[in-house]
Amino acid sequence: MGERLKIGISACFSHPDPDRPFFRGKTLQYVEQSMVHWLQSAGALPLMIPSPEGDTKRGDVTLDDYADLLDGLVLEGGADVWPGSYGETPLQPEWSGDRIRDEYEIALTRAFVARDKPVLGICRGLQVLNVAFGGTLYQDIGTQVPEALTHRNREVYDQNFHTIAFVPRTRLATLYGDPLSAKVNSIHHQAIKDLAPGFSVEARSTDDGVVEAVRREGRPYVAAVQWHPEFHDPADRTLLPGGPLLDDFLTAARATRHR
């Protein structure tokens, strides 16, 4: 099968917390296990990309070094996006997001795009990509789109599902074919408000029109979905399988390697 594709996963951050019983006062960077296993399921070699910035920085390692080494980038889910990243102030203190992670992931995205390497965004990753290329977000769907579905339910978490509809003749619709609708999980309370220039919508929530998938036109491959395909149980045939999306991304990474 040749050399395995090396796919970078952006880190999640747990910032210093004096009340945490372990690594008290230290910054933790980590990945969620399901994302790693999802990439491994297709034979890729996932590698977390730690941020080289911070109070304990040593040496001259940069994000460019990781972008040179790796074949593609996945922006995983996690904390809210800081509204200042798209020129707004938080409507509520609890929607302040993670400015440090935003700056790290936007810089990471630019490093991979500059090298013509593919980027796939998952949940928060979709929001980061939209902001990185000039779009904006709803800080809270329930407040700003009151007629919308409940897109995040803390009690059931990844067992909160709804239906999406693919936009006909888009890449995503081609990947999945008929039927043009599917059931996915929903774990977000922020969503795209103004779509970034150069992007197109590939799927929307069937009942309220909330954007669920986007793709940037042209090269390199930049695409994102609002749901978590890595959380879908492959044995549950009522849910949209993650395989076609993952295979498409890895095909782009393989093509970039051989150019």
Catalytic annotation, residues: 123, 228, 230
Task: Return the structure tokens found at 76.
Answer: 């995983």
Burial class of 93 by CB neighbour count within 10 A (0 to 12, 13 to 18, 19+): exposed
Question: 112 has which bridge partners?
Answer: none
CB neighbours of 1 closer than 8 A, spacing ≥ 6? 43
CA–CA gap between residue 11 and residue 36 (Å, rounded): 12
The H or E element that residue 243 is part of is helix 243-257
CA–CA gap between residue 45 and residue 5 (Å, rounded): 6
CB neighbours of 136 closer than 8 A, spacing ≥ 6? 86, 87, 88, 130, 192, 193, 194
**In sequence order, which ranges of 33-170 are alpha helices (DSSP H)?**
33-40, 63-69, 99-114, 124-132, 141-144
DSSP 218: S
Q: CB-side exposure of 211: number of CA atoms within 13 Å? A: 27
